[in-house]
């Protein structure tokens, strides 16, 4: 397969017929002026080394040199191999709990900030996977639609806080439903939801939502953030701690993560549950699990591997120029006997 990087240079070929016509006119004028001086036979006797063919040959060679240089400028490329390149990836939606209970500081600096750091690490490892983020508390909102733009996803993730969702509470089922709708309409490939939460669910039935996801072939994994001992939920005003959240009886609320609920969600939707520990909060383990899944082929490209060939035409032009310089317009008395021209 032949192609050219700069085909616009082919317009220079229009110069060739102009140069050829000018050469013909020049030869005609020279011959006319010569015939005014003497007859053709007399001219041959006076100039025995005169050649009427050599100027034509030199001009044709000049036109060939010009043509080769034009082709070199156009940069011809030959396709040596055609390949079908496929980019593969899994669709991943992270459902991040931003309820007030995620402000508990049993994990430093607190559950939410630790979760955000771990999710950011995960985004950096997604490679060709498309990732989306759903923030949820009493309801759920899509913060990042499915994308491969890691920089944008991380930037938006940094802005997520407990004020992102106006309705407080914890509705994991609503988060799973929102995540389901965040996926593309494609029925092929793998789709994964990762719920990052302390598991304290008060407003809906997350297991029913997980069953719905499982029927659609969506894998739901869960990360448990927090400790079994739990911690009070701090209240800050102007970045200063003013107290801790209390219930209607005035007792300090101790938030404990609900491992049982998170395990049920994962088991229902063919996922895995990981207790959030370490800098990655267990997301690396889930990523390994995801990598084993069948990847979705979501983009195909036909790729041709081309090799440039301009240097061949430059070499031909140089060779032709050297030959043109070796040919004189008059005959060579030493080579005359060979009758080359």
Which domains, and CATH codes, for the chain? 2-81+304-338 (no CATH), 91-294 (3.40.50.410)
What gap in Å lies between CA 11 and CA 16, rounded to an integer? 10
Residue with tokens 């013909």: 24
196 contacts 120 by C-beta, under 8 angstroms: no
Strand partners, 254: 232
pLDDT in tens, the chain (341 residues): 678 888 899 999 999 999 999 989 988 887 787 777 666 666 566 555 556 778 888 889 999 999 999 999 998 888 666 666 555 678 999 999 999 999 999 998 999 999 999 999 999 988 778 999 999 999 999 999 999 999 999 999 999 999 999 898 889 999 999 999 999 887 666 899 999 999 877 778 899 999 999 999 999 999 999 888 889 999 888 778 889 988 888 899 898 888 999 999 999 999 999 998 888 899 999 988 888 775 555 555 555 667 788 889 999 999 989 988 887 766 555 545 555 44
Question: Quick one: pLDDT at residue 97?
Answer: 96
Per-residue model confidence as pLDDT tens digits over 5-64: 888 999 999 999 999 999 899 888 877 877 776 666 665 665 555 567 788 888 899 999
Question: Quick one: pLDDT at residue 262?
Answer: 94
What's the CA dihedral at 241, 242, 247, 250 to 10 degrees? 140
Cα atoms found within 13 Å of the Cα of residue 165, Cβ hemisphere only: 25
Strand partners, 255: 231
Closest CA to 176 of 145, 111, 221: 221
What gap in Å lies between CA 253 and CA 251, rounded to an integer? 6
Cα atoms found within 13 Å of the Cα of residue 171, Cβ hemisphere only: 20
160 contacts 98 by C-beta, under 8 angstroms: yes
């Amino acid at each position: 397969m032949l192609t050219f990087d700069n085909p616009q240079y082919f317009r220079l070929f229009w110069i060739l017929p102009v140069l050829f016509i000018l050469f013909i006119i020049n030869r005609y004028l020279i011959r006319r002026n010569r015939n005014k001086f003497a007859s053709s036979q007399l001219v041959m006797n006076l100039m025995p080394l005169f050649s009427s063919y050599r100027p034509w040959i030199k001009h044709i060679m000049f036109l060939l040199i010009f043509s080769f240089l034009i082709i070199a400028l156009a940069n011809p490329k030959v396709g040596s191999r055609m390949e079908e390149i496929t980019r593969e990836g899994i669709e991943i939606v992270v459902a991040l709990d931003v309820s007030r209970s995620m402000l508990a500081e049993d994990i430093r600096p607190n559950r939410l900030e630790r979760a955000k750091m771990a999710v950011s690490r995960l985004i950096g490892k997604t490679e060709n996977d498309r990732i989306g983020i759903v923030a949820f508390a009493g309801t759920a909102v899509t913060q990042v639609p499915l994308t491969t733009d890691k920089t944008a996803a991380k930037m938006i993730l940094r802005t997520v806080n407990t004020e992102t969702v106006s309705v407080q509470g914890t509705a994991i089922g609503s988060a799973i439903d929102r995540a389901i709708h965040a996926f593309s309409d494609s029925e092929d490939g793998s789709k994964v939801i990762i719920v990052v939460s302390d598991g304290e669910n008060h407003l809906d039935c997350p297991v029913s939502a997980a069953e719905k996801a499982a029927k659609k072939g969506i894998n739901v994994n869960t990360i448990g953030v927090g400790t079994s001992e739990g911690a009070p939920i701090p209240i800050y005003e102007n970045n200063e701690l003013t107290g801790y959240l209390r219930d209607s009886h005035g007792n300090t609320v101790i938030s404990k993560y609900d491992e049982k609920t998170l395990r049920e969600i994962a088991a229902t939707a063919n996922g895995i549950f990981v207790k959030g520990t370490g800098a990655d909060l267990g997301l690396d383990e889930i990523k390994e699990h995801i990598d084993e899944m069948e990847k979705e082929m979501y983009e195909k490209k036909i790729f041709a591997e081309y090799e440039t060939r301009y240097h061949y035409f430059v070499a031909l032009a140089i060779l032709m120029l050297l030959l043109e310089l070796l040919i004189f317009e008059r005959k060579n008395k030493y080579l005359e006997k060979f009758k080359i021209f």
